[in-house]
Structure 1
Amino acid sequence: MLQAMRNKMHGWPSIIVLGLAVLAMSLFGMESYFTSQNDTFVAKVGKREISQNAFQNRMNQLRQQFSTQQGDKFDPAMFEKPETKLRVLDAMIDEQLLLQANADWGMRVSDQSLRDAIADIPAFQVSGKFDPTSYRSYLANSGKTSAMFEDEIRSSLATQLLPQAIDDSAIISDQRVDDYLSLATQRRDLRYFVLAKPDPADKQVTDAQIEAWYKAHQADYMNPEQVSVEYVEVDGAKLKPKAAPSDEELKARYEEEKQRFVQPEQRLVSHILINVPTNATPEQQKAALATADKLAAEATPANFAALAEKDSQDLGSRRQGGDLGWLEKGVTNAAFDSAMFALQKGQISKPVLSSDGYHIIWLRDVRSGESKPFAEVRDQLLQEATSAERDRQYNELAGKMADQTYSNPGSLEPASAALDLPIQTTPLFSRNGGEGLAANPKVVAAAFSDDVLVQGNNSSLIDLGNNHSVVIHVSKHVPAAAKPLEEVRASVQQSILQERIAVAARKQADDVLARLQKGEDMAAVAKSIDAKVVTVPEAVRGQSFQVPPPVLKEAFLLPHPAAPEKPRFAEVDMGDGGFAMVAVDKVQPGDLTKMSAEDRGLLHRQMAQAYAGEATRELLQVLRAKTKIKINNNLL
């Protein structure tokens, strides 16, 4: 065939055709190449990219956070919804916009602020003070270096710089607070009465009416769709680990990991900080150095705490006389570290320049590094080895189960036979879940997914947490079906009567309101329908608990009375099929003299925060408008 084509491809027409074909294929390839270049990020904010890995990490963090907070009520399907993913991505875009604004406007997180933020994390504190051992243990368990963790915290703090600056600069006048308080504590004199529910115009319900209602509202009388699933599971808690490791094995592990049990040298330090402004002029830096030199010359171990309380500009340690607690290498910045470890016990340093300013450092004590003996950590090593073996067994068995059920998607039996795992079955359950395994939202979501329910495949491995996972397969499916009319006849009849009562109640309320608006006396109208008027002087929004909430809400929606003798009236839907009538007779501004200075100050701060929050949102809108933002929806 190829020879025949070659024989026919002669002459310039053939060359032109071939050239056009090659050109078309080349352009197609180039287009594919450029398209692929755009798929390396989820979003691009100006020149900053949000990688797919960063987006997935954020989604995983939020998923874990919600799972911890909500427990069994957590629905993992929420994080698969496009609107949820877009909300998360929008928040990450806002962070990038704020970071870009920081760079443009020269705002940064100081090393001192970073150190204070890490020291304030409760997980790193013992008896209210920063504990380097807890910090180091966290880094080891999370597989992070101190530099990696500091970068995370610095980025988090950086996104708060602008919002915090806006919050600090928000100005709310006393008049604006007064206006709000006057409205919030406004007093209204009101009267109301509740109408008794009337009888329906017709209490007779025919079979034809019942049948017509049943057909028109059939969705209200359905048995829900249900499934029963088979499943195989691997539960790490039920796995039997091999024989416990011997002391020789534990000692070998101890020698291999001895560094874990070495307490590094620590130093008990106090300091005095003299700030140097960002982008300080030479004169400002000289002035700061002169102040620091003076304090360093005056400082002695006896007066250091007093000098720190008086002159240090580190607000975090100032009240403790400059006390920073026990520090180890790598916790502070490089300049501070170098000076601290160059001192002898009891010495006070000359001013040390860092990105925050000049530090005068007093080394109060030294705690030498020491290694814990094997006997002290043997139980810890044994527990870790046992746990690691159980984890290994679980991961191996769960991996094999996933492979077997994926390779044989139509049945769990091959996996059951190969791995000696029993096939278990749940009772029927609906999309609202059931009992036991069916109470887990992940299992319910998988059971009713298209792949499992419609296509008839095994589910993927469902992680239930704590080294516990299952794979399910639908064994029985009961579609949603309407309940027989005879089963729900009484309920249908009651619904028809309730609708007639609601219609009658609305007509009664309309008639009563018309009488009041025509000028009939409210007490006389109420008496004519066997109702009782309740008078409430000076009712306050959200505080007059003796008034039914729907009545109070409607009373504060009514306009002010035109005159004392001309109250405003309204009918109120009580939400239970009944109605009430309300009249507003008088409106007075709130009594601001009853507001304490403390409450007023709290409200002032809350209003400032609310205005600052709105200002931050407006700033983000401006930043979005002037920044090119591209989103790759295919990677969400």
Structure 2
Amino acid sequence: MLQKIRDNATSGFAFIMLGLLILAFAVWGIDFQFGGSQVIVEVDGEEVPSYQIVNAYNQQIQQFQQFYPNGIPELQQEQLKQRVVESFVRNQLLLSHTTGAGYGMPDDKVRDAIRSTPGFQVDGKFNAASFEYAANRGGFSPEGLYNEFRQSLVMQQLAQGLTETAFVTKEDIRTRGALERETRTVRTVRIAASDLLDEVEIDPAEVQSTYEFNQAEYMTEEKVRLDYIELDPEKIADTFEIDDGELQDRYTAGVETGEFSRPETRNGRHILIAVDADTTEEQARTEAEALRERIMAGEDFAELAKEFSDDAGSKPQGGELGWNTRDAYVGPFADAMFSMAVDDVSEPIKTRYGFHIIRLEGVRGNENQPFEEVRDQLVEELKNDRARAELTELMSELDELVYDVDDSLADAAAAAGVEIQQSDWITRSGG
């Protein structure tokens, strides 16, 4: 097949020349008022019935009428006629060439192409009624549209064969080599287009005609401005005053539910004897027990922590850990610390870090935050509760007002005590 393409290259040029000659007669000699099956174009011996060209022309006219409500100018009508004829001549030349070159398309490929066309599908599946409807709208019988698909696929096959195939001859190689070795001396003169603008004269009628024929290129995107009213919950909340009685009631309710209770926290010190590559578990335990004996004998816990603890974080502070809740510590450590009494010193406690000796310094917790500490929080909470209720009621009232007067927001704005605002220009895409 590829060899046929190459062998027919010269005849293809003849087809094009023949098409151009026929086109010259066709463009100036066609009367688009002809009907029936009268032949007004003949391409390479193949007759194109007038009704096919007239149908295609009428479809083009219908598409352009939306841009010309007062009628399509004569010049544009003539250009449309020329385009339609050119299209038929070009397609017929391609079809003649593919037929002569032996191109074809099996029925199963044609059927697959038709079945995979979205326009012929319903819910993703081929629908015969949709296919017949499309055929009728295009002026075809179902068999005619089927043949149109076949011809289109054959011409696609030709195009792919030409664009995806490379032919390299010895002459091509010699020519390429000569071009790559070739050098040229060039002199140029630069002429700025801006220097010639004043010499160009444009006919206003040509400008108008170009504009009218290409109106689709100058269409602006639809955009709107909106009037709206804004209801700000924070501004509504600021309009309320909360008295101390309400605050006390809210605080009392929170105390009863444990909302304002503080979790228990404890402060302690510890000495860590780490288990590592240089110290076995037994050695660490023995050292921790010896340190505890010294503490129980009266030596200062903090000083021993500064000297012997392997916890770099607390060592400089004499092992002090600060006030923390239970979940700040690993399990065995937390269990021991939160079961001790103040000033108790624990036995060595094993964790994944090593062995700890713990001294409990103090306990806080199971107490409520004072009223004054949470007063501002309660004021904001009660204001927001009222604002939400007010906003819900106001929205219901505004819905009724807007529904009753659908061309103005004035009544709704007055009821809400706000001003009508206006948006910037908004397009469908949001810009």
- State TM-score, norm by structure 1: 0.28
**Greater RCO (CA < 8 Å, at least 6 residues apart):** 1
Larger Rg: 2
More strand by share: 1
